[in-house]
């Protein structure tokens, strides 16, 4: 049986965005808007240009939300994201 993990409401949840297509800006905006509760730590897409486009969207969303953008790592492979990331995503 899988144990349920309880997340402290005072702690930020680490999120990795897999897929940087058309809807990704809405996800980026939602995570950025809720930056006191969630931290976007990585983005991943098989198209090597998509994560770079997403980084521009992250900067735009941060400006709109009036926050300082955090450093977000980009990957073209989901398995690489999990292997190389020292801060594993929770979602």
Q: What is the pLDDT along the chain (91 residues), one digit of tens a residue?
A: 555 666 666 778 888 889 888 888 888 888 888 878 888 888 898 988 887 888 888 888 888 877 776 778 888 998 888 887 665 656 5
77: closest CA among 55, 46, 56, 38?
Answer: 46
pTM: 0.71
Q: What is the distance, to the nearest Å, from the Cα of residue 82 to the centroid of all Cα atoms in its chain?
A: 13
Measured CA to CA, the distance from residue 48 to residue 11 in angstroms comes to: 32
């Amino acid at each position: 049986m899988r144990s349920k993990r309880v997340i402290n409401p005072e702690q930020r949840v680490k999120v990795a965005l897999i897929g940087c297509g058309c809807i990704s800006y809405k996800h980026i905006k939602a995570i950025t808007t809720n930056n006191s509760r969630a931290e976007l730590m990585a983005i991943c897409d098989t198209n090597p240009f998509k994560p770079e486009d997403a980084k521009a969207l992250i900067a735009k969303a941060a400006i709109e939300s009036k926050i300082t953008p955090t450093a977000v790592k980009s990957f073209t492979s989901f398995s690489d994201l999990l292997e190389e990331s020292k801060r594993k995503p929770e979602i």
